[in-house]
Amino acid sequence: MSRKIYVFDTTLRDGEQVPGAKLNRKQKLEIATQLAKLGVDIIEAGFPCSSPEDLKAVAAVAEQVRGPIIAGLARAVQADIDQAWQAVQKSERPRLHVFLGSSDIHLQKKLHRDRNSAIEMAVTAVKYAKSLCPDVEYSTEDASRTDFDYLCRVIEAAIAAGATTINVPDTVGYAIPEEFGALIRRLKETVPALDRAVLSVHCHNDLGLAVSNSLAAIRNGAQQVECTINGIGERAGNASLEEIVMALRTRSALFEAHTDIVTPEIFKTSRMVSRLMNIPVQPNKAVVGANAFSHSSGVHQDGILKDRTTYEIMRPEDVGIRQHSIILTARSGRAALRHKLEEIGYKLEDEQFQRVHQRFINVADRKKEISSEDLASIVEIELSKVRETFTFQDLQIMSGNTLMPLASVCLLKDGERKVDAATGNGPVNAVFNCIERIMEKEGTLRDFDLKAVTMGKDALGEAMVRVEIDGTIYSGIGTSPDIIEASARAYVNAFNRFFAHGHNGN
């Protein structure tokens, strides 16, 4: 009989630890609402003690999102637990998630404690959390590098103190699948108290094995898996939700396990997270990458035309990637645009539709046809825009292999046109320099990514930047058939995020 695997999504907590990916309250709510539609069992909404703003954001998710359990993370100290409880207590299904290092390296180097005092600290924290909330998860941080006998003692003590879920993390991505699966099996066999708790795993991707380790744990008895959309997270990231879910679905006979994830919502969720966190999905990413269901080899194409199962083990529709025959052009009216938007899964309010329509016209005037992928990119970027202190208007470029690149840019601020010019070591650099001159604010470009949304010479370009401004990294995203314009829009978007955080634009 197939076992139910609980999906614990930590996109809003561990996923948010990527530099420049910080979400505001509205964005967290948007993603959490979509995660509920996706069907995740638990949403870890944040780390409330990390900042007053995160506490408010987690509280908003707890109050407004219905369906999943809403969890808040806390260190094994009373102040953290109090703030986590303050954040999640209004959820219809709250959970407190308490963690403490268990490996000797964490105990000695980070906590400066011996094993016995660490167990006492864990027990005290779990008992206190249990006095506030009936659902308490306890994580043995760095479990994969922890002495096995001591790990068993910690788990037994945490369950005795009231923990209802025990999480065994591969915190630094050190484990190998065969080894990690054996650890889970051995824990199940050695710790009788685990019959009274859900056994969870949380794997990191430092060696590229997070999904493999998670699946090995499931095969050996894990009942909950902690993961993120697109595999985002600290350092090399976390186990990818979509890969685990589709592996269980595609190889259900092998795993004899299933999730309650609504798989047609996967692609939309992936796009939303990528857009709001400004973290691009690499084209060859499994399940949700642009090339995941593309076939260029003649042999493969021939097989696909005869029977898709020759080279596809999943259908694109299973994860929400749809093929459509209606192609939009500059001559398409509002009704056709709204129909197409609803067809690909977007029901927009009038104000949102007006913004998307205006951007659609702007792009369609320069692009022969607007595909579903183009339109989805336009929608996601328009909906992710923060309040605009500066609005991109237009630009002009002079460049060549024997010329010093020169850019002239026009931005709008409070309805007033602001125009300047600047040189650079390339046309994009010249544009960025010019934008900084207009805003009278400098930034340091930390990351720049440019990709084509679709194929062809007239493909829509999508630019993503990360810019360090006054010591903090802000992300920006922009699209256009012109890649220099897309880059300019992304740079302006990053600075608008800076200004939206309370800084004044000159």
pLDDT digits (tens, 9 = 90+) for 232-248: 999 999 999 999 999 99
Q: Which region among 31-45, 434-448, 462-476 has the lowest average model confidence (pLDDT)?
A: 462-476
Do residues 490 and 411 both lie within one domain? yes
Q: What is the CATH number of the domain that holds 440?
A: 3.30.160.270
pLDDT of residue 401: 87
Give the residue from 277, 310, 336 where a domain finishes: 277
Q: Is 239 found in the same domain as 362?
A: no
Distance CA 23, CA 434 (A): 28
Which CATH number goes with the domain that contains 26?
Answer: 3.20.20.70
Q: pLDDT-based confidence at 324, cuts 50/70/90?
A: very low
Polymer length in residues for the chain: 506
Q: Is 298 inside any structural domain?
A: no
> What is the DSSP-derived secondary structure letter of residue 265?
G
Tokens of 274: 């990528």
**Residue 40: what pLDDT?**
98
Tokens of 77: 């100290």
Chain CA centroid to CA 497, Å: 18
Sign for the CA dihedral angle at 81, 83, 89, 93 comes to: negative
Q: Are residues 351 and 404 in the same domain?
A: no
Domain annotation covers residue 493: yes
**pLDDT for the residue numbered 212:** 98
The yes-or-no verdict on residue 428 having pLDDT over 50 is yes
The residues, ordered by sequence, that sit 6+ positions from 146 with a Cβ below 8 Å of its Cβ are 102, 103, 104, 140, 154
Whether 296 maps to a domain, the answer reads no
Q: What is the mean pLDDT of the chain?
A: 91
Instruction: Determine what percent of the chain is predicted with pLDDT higher than 90.
Output: 69
Q: How confident is the model at residue 372 (pLDDT cuts 50, 70, 90)?
A: confident
How far apart are the C-alpha atoms of 411 and 413, rounded to whole Å? Answer: 7
- In single-letter form, the type of residue at position 424 comes to G
Other CB atoms within a 10 A radius of the CB of residue 123 amount to 19
- Same domain for 379 and 400, yes or no, is no
Q: Is the pLDDT of residue 405 over 50?
A: yes
Give the pLDDT score at 294. 64
Residues 6 or more apart whose CB falls under 8 angstroms from that of 451 comprise 280, 283, 290, 461, 462
Please choose, from the candidates 496, 37, 91, 501, the residue with its C-alpha nearest in 3D space to the C-alpha of residue 272.
37
Residue 366 has pLDDT above 80, yes or no: no
Same domain, 97 and 236: yes
Q: Which residue has the higher pLDDT, 126 or 328?
A: 126
| CA angle in degrees (0–180, nearest 5) for 393-397-401 | 160
What value does the mean pLDDT take over residues 174-192?
A: 98
Tens digits of residue pLDDT in 77-131: 999 999 999 999 999 999 999 999 999 999 999 999 999 999 999 999 999 999 9
Residue 235 sits in the same domain as residue 356: no
pLDDT over 60 (residue 297): no
pLDDT of residue 305: 59
How many structural domains does the chain have? 3
What is the domain extent for residue 207?
3-277
Range of weakest confidence among 139-143, 194-198, 231-235, 502-506: 502-506
Residue 314 lies in a domain: no
Q: Are residues 8 and 125 in the same domain?
A: yes
The residue with tokens 């336009």 is: 378
pLDDT of residue 345: 78
Q: Is residue 287 part of a domain?
A: no
Record the tokens describing residue 391, joined without a space. Answer: 């609005």
Query: Are 186 and 271 in a shared domain?
Result: yes
Last residue in a domain, options 213, 246, 277: 277
Of the candidates 260, 211, 200, 204, the one whose C-alpha atom is nearest the C-alpha of residue 235 is: 204
pLDDT digits (tens, 9 = 90+) for 351-363: 889 888 988 888 8
Of the candidates 195, 294, 277, 365, the one whose C-alpha atom is nearest the C-alpha of residue 12 is: 277
Q: d(Cα 484, Cα 435) in Å, to the nearest integer?
A: 13
Token pair in block for residue 191: 């710790």
Q: Where are the beta strands (DSSP E) in 401-441?
A: 403-413, 416-423
- Out of 364, 384, 404, pick the residue that ends a domain: 384
Residues 379, 405, single domain; the answer is no
Read off the pTM: 0.76
Q: Is residue 310 part of a domain?
A: no
CB contact burial 207-222 (16+ within 10 A = b; e otherwise): eebbbbbbbbbbbbbb
| Domain identity same for 147 and 52 | yes
41 lies in the same domain as 140: yes
- Does 491 reside within a domain? yes
Residue 299 counted as domain residue: no
Indicate whether 142 and 71 sit together in one domain: yes
